[in-house]
Amino acid sequence: MPPPVRRRDRGPRGPPEAPAQILSGRAFLRGKLQPIEVAISEDGWILALGKHLTGAPRHDLGEAVILPAATDLHVHFREPGGPSGLENIATGTVQAALGGVALVGEMPNTQPPVTDVASLEEKAARVRGRAAVDVLLYALPRAAPGLPALAARAGAFKLFLSPTTGVPEPPDGSEVPALLQRLAGLGLPVSVHAEDATHFDSSRPPLDPVGWNAHRPPASEEAAIGRLLPPPVPLRLHVAHVTRPESVTRLRAAGVSFEATPHHLLLNDRSGRDAYTKVNPPLRTEADRQGLWEAFARGEVPVLASDHAPHLPSDKERPFDRAPSGVPGVETMLPLMLARVRASGLSLSTLLEAACDRPARWFGQPHGRIAPGHRAHLLVVDFRQRTTVTAARLHAPCGWTPFEGHEAIFPREVYFRGERVVAGGEFEGETRGEVVRPEFAPGPTDASPG
């Protein structure tokens, strides 16, 4: 059962609200594409759906499809402290909007990291007035005494079980059960980077992505997931970027939420030979990629998330073992998958659940569906408008993408709180994104596979 959606308070007996605009097109409702009109209020909520609505200016989208905007649970916008010219909250949220994402979960491994109320407030101040979409801020759970105060202000926690960018020293494995127990009592979602460094293999220096997969092998993911299961009740546990079908089976059986990224779904350890495809956890073999893709296409992966983690070309071009891990992806996440829908390798309903509905509910936000009482974060998609991804046409300041040459379908228009912010492939809106926190707590199975 979906959680109740908290509509904005219109007073118990107020008159029905007049729409400010009506979008007329087609939408995927009750399992099929059908003509629909969507009435939107002045302040950006979906008021009603119908076949012929009246009472406001109508924007006729013809044969185009109206979709809910996506939520990306996992981005790294590098602010504060990122290298200059790489990324920041303003540039990252514009890429999100252009890629059809209305809410991002911004990770805390910045400089300084978000570990206390002061660093969280300082990051929230950077969002206000500069973000093109809404931002939920993760915090790193470090000092035990400060955790409740941090939980009262953060949107979620992120726990790294292994070293990665900006996280040189993860907590000792023996401390993890007590930490999870403490987090379980705080009510916020907890995302875990699940690699167990005691299973890393340093017998040979990693020289390419195949070597990186051998260095941080599948066994380290398996062991880390093993440490998390069964999670203490009522922990709202979510495992980030799983890479293999075995992890899908195990987490589904445990009823735990998890995500897969476009890079683990579409690329393998031979897709590139240099550090531009170096990520944590590593790209796996083609057999693993294919198994993960098939599980995703069967609807067994609850959430799609980008793990957008750009790095400067000058850093990616260092010798492989010293180059940083991470790839950009927030702008291409949904467009790559819409192209898969068009190519018939993925059903639209499976994609919408994984990219829009479940992640919005995981963050306790009333959007991700085209339904009255939900925010009007909406996309207009023309499935005939296929393009090829090239870094030159994207908006990432890092200037590269691991998906060069892949087919994509970008939204033709994007509406954020009812206001059109993207048209003709460019961001034309105002920066009205806000810091959001969970507005309602979904039950434990809401983001687990259904």
Catalytic machinery residues: 307
Residue 271 in contact with ligand DOR, rule: CB under 6 A: no
Q: Phi, psi (5° rounding) for residue 428?
A: -125, 15
Work out whether strand 70-75 and strand 58-68 pair parallel, antiparallel, or are unpaired.
unpaired
277 binds, among ligand DOR, Zn ion, none (CB under 5 to 8 A by kind): none
Q: Phi, psi (5° rounding) for residue 182?
A: -65, -45
Q: How many residues bind ligand DOR (CB under 6 A)?
A: 12
Residue 106 in contact with Zn ion, rule: CB under 5 A: no
Exposed/middle/buried for residue 421 (C-beta within 10 Å: 0-12, 13-18, 19+): buried
Q: Contact 330/41 with Cβ under 8 angstroms?
A: no
Q: Where are the beta strands (DSSP E) in 156-304?
A: 156-160, 189-193, 236-239, 257-260, 303-304
433 binds, among ligand DOR, Zn ion, none (CB under 5 to 8 A by kind): none
* Position among 309, 334, 376, 381 found at the interface with ligand DOR (CB under 6 A): 309
135 binds, among ligand DOR, Zn ion, none (CB under 5 to 8 A by kind): none
Q: Phi, psi (5° rounding) for residue 59?
A: -110, 110
Rounded to a whole number of angstroms, the minimum distance from the CB of residue 257 to Zn ion is: 16
Site mask for ligand DOR (CB under 6 A), range 27-56, x = bound:
------------------------------
Q: What is the CA radius of gyration of the chain?
A: 21
Residue among 263 and 395 whose Cβ is closer to Zn ion:
263
* Position among 61, 156, 279, 370 found at the interface with ligand DOR (CB under 6 A): 279
Name the one range near ligand DOR by CB under 6 A: 1-9, 318-326, 392-400, 437-445. Answer: 318-326
Per CB under 6 A, contacts with ligand DOR among 158-217 are: 164-166, 193
Rounded to a whole number of angstroms, the minimum distance from the CB of residue 435 to ligand DOR is: 20
164 binds, among ligand DOR, Zn ion, none (CB under 5 to 8 A by kind): ligand DOR
257 binds, among Zn ion, ligand DOR, none (CB under 5 to 8 A by kind): none
Work out whether strand 21-29 and strand 58-68 pair parallel, antiparallel, or are unpaired.
parallel
Q: Contact 102/133 with Cβ under 8 angstroms?
A: yes
Rounded to a whole number of angstroms, the minimum distance from the CB of residue 278 to ligand DOR is: 7
Q: How many residues does the chain have?
A: 450
- Tell me the C-alpha to C-alpha distance, in Å, between residue 307 and each of 99, 302, 382, 417: 14, 15, 26, 24
Residue among 165 and 387 whose Cβ is closer to ligand DOR:
165
Helices and strands: H and E segment counts in the chain:
13, 18
- Residue 421's SS3 state is strand
Q: Where are the beta strands (DSSP E) in 293-434?
A: 303-304, 378-381, 387-388, 407-408, 413-416, 419-423, 426-427
Residue among 208 and 307 whose Cβ is closer to Zn ion:
307
Residue among 324 and 335 whose Cβ is closer to ligand DOR:
324
* Position among 307, 331, 357, 446 found at the interface with Zn ion (CB under 5 A): 307
Residue among 74 and 215 whose Cβ is closer to Zn ion:
74
Residue among 22 and 398 whose Cβ is closer to ligand DOR:
398
325 binds, among Zn ion, ligand DOR, none (CB under 5 to 8 A by kind): ligand DOR
Residue 76 in contact with ligand DOR, rule: CB under 6 A: yes
Q: Report the chain's terminal Cα–Cα distance, integer Å.
A: 10
CA atoms lying within 13 Å on the CB side of residue 56: 19
Amino acid letter, 412: R
119 binds, among ligand DOR, Zn ion, none (CB under 5 to 8 A by kind): none
| Dihedral sign of CA atoms 426, 330, 70, 131 in order | negative
Residue linked to tokens 């008021």: 47
Residues that bind ligand DOR (CB under 6 A): 76, 109, 164-166, 193, 279-280, 309, 324-326
Residues that bind Zn ion (CB under 5 A): 307
